[in-house]
Every structure is written in C-alpha cells, then in structure tokens.
Amino acid sequence: MTAFAHSEGAGLRALQRRLGHEFADTGLLTQALTHRSAATVNNERLEYLGDSILNFVIAAALFDNCPGASEGDLSRLRASLVRGRTLAVIARELELSALLILGPGEKRNGSSRRDSILADTVEALLGAIYTEAGFAETRRVILDLFDYRLHHLPQAEATKDAKTRIQEWLQARGRALPEYELVKRSGPQHAEHFVARCRLADTDLHCTGEGGSRRQAEQEAARHVLEQLTGEQP
C-alpha cells in the first residue's frame, strides 16, 4: 500500500468516526465524496436524496422543539439550519475538504474550499447513509450533527433575510418599497459574480452588494441600506 493510499484510508476512517456512522459499502462513501467533474458516477443523485431527508428531519425537529412558533418562524429557522452556509460549516467540522474527489479543473480552482461544493457533499453523505442504512440511522446522524444548533436556535426575527426586513421596516412606516437592479454580471459560468443595487424610491439612498448569485448580491445591497436606515447590523 502506498503512503497516499494509507493516508486516504485513514482520512475516510476518521470521517466515519466524526459522522458516527461506519459504511459497510465504502464504495458508496467514495461516491458521496465524488464531484461531477471527476466521474460519471458521482454524488449528485445522493445529494438530491440527502437534501430531501435533511429538510424533513430538521422540519420535524423544529416542530417538536418549538411548539409556540408560527409556520413562518419554523420555515425561517429551518432555512437558516439547512442553508448552504451552515452546511459548509458542518463540512469543515467534518474536515471534508481534503477528502473531496474533484476533476483537475475544479482542483485548480480551489473548489474543495467552496461553500456550495462542501454543502452539496454533506447532503450526499446523508443520502449515502440513507441508501445503506435507512431513515432511522440517517435521522440519528443528522440530529447528532445539528444537536448544538438545534439547542441554540437564533431568535426567529433574526432569521429573516435583509430583503424581508427592509420591506417590513418600510411598510411599517408607510414608505415605498425598495427597487433592485442588476449592475454587473461577470465571470465564467461556474464562478459567476454579481453586483446589484438597492435603491429607495422616496430618497436618494442606495447601496450596492456583491455575491455569487443575483439573489445574494441583492440581499447584500439590502443589508447595507438597512444599516443606513436603522444604524444597526440587520
């Protein structure tokens, strides 16, 4: 066995310990770590499955743990827990970056550190666990991974995105809703960059924001405008 293969095997064993699940089929584990750029047999289908199970398990946990929360509050709390940014943090806690199997181009681009790929891989791992061991085991793993976050939930108001908060702030004062426009779109398809502007129709106040999607750029622009209006971080 080469030193590289030994190191890779040790990494997979360590990942399984961190997950709290030992795969009987290590080929399934490898598939969950394989990006579409590296092979025809990759983790996209497992990601689809894991995403669906994750959303259900977190929704059910919030339903049980937050009996006084409204449907809107539950939806926002769930979204904050299963969003890509949160899953990318969990991926880093699992130390996934070094274990991702990427095509040469993605390796050169440093994609092992990209939030979206890390988040997708977490979902694929959950899909792989479900495929091998069923729902009860997958639910156990999810609740273990999210245990701290489920017991330290943010205030429901804090989970509202910036565009929602600025809209509510303006409506409460009888003011016109903000306008959004795309200022710039650049970069290759796999790594596009957007700049958007949020403008208040009844004043000269406007701010720009940037992000990897138009929605992210608009949210960032809205956040900056809200800071100007309220003097606080949203």
Q: Other CB atoms closer than 10 Å to residue 20's CB: what's the count?
A: 12
As a whole number of angstroms, the distance between CA 112 and CA 100 comes to 6
The catalytic residues are 51, 123
Q: Tell me the CB-side half-sphere exposure of residue 44, using CA atoms within 13 A.
A: 8
The tokens for 200 are: 């208040």
As a whole number of angstroms, the distance between CA 77 and CA 55 comes to 11
- Ramachandran category for residue 92: left, alpha or beta (phi over 0 → left; psi -120 to 50 → alpha): alpha
As a whole number of angstroms, the distance between CA 90 and CA 20 comes to 14
DSSP 112-150: GG-HHHHHHHHHHHHHHHHHHH-HHHHHHHHHHHTHHHH
Q: How many residues comprise the chain?
A: 234
Bridging pattern class, strands 193-199 and 206-211: antiparallel
Residue bearing tokens 């979902």? 123
As a whole number of angstroms, the distance between CA 54 and CA 147 comes to 13
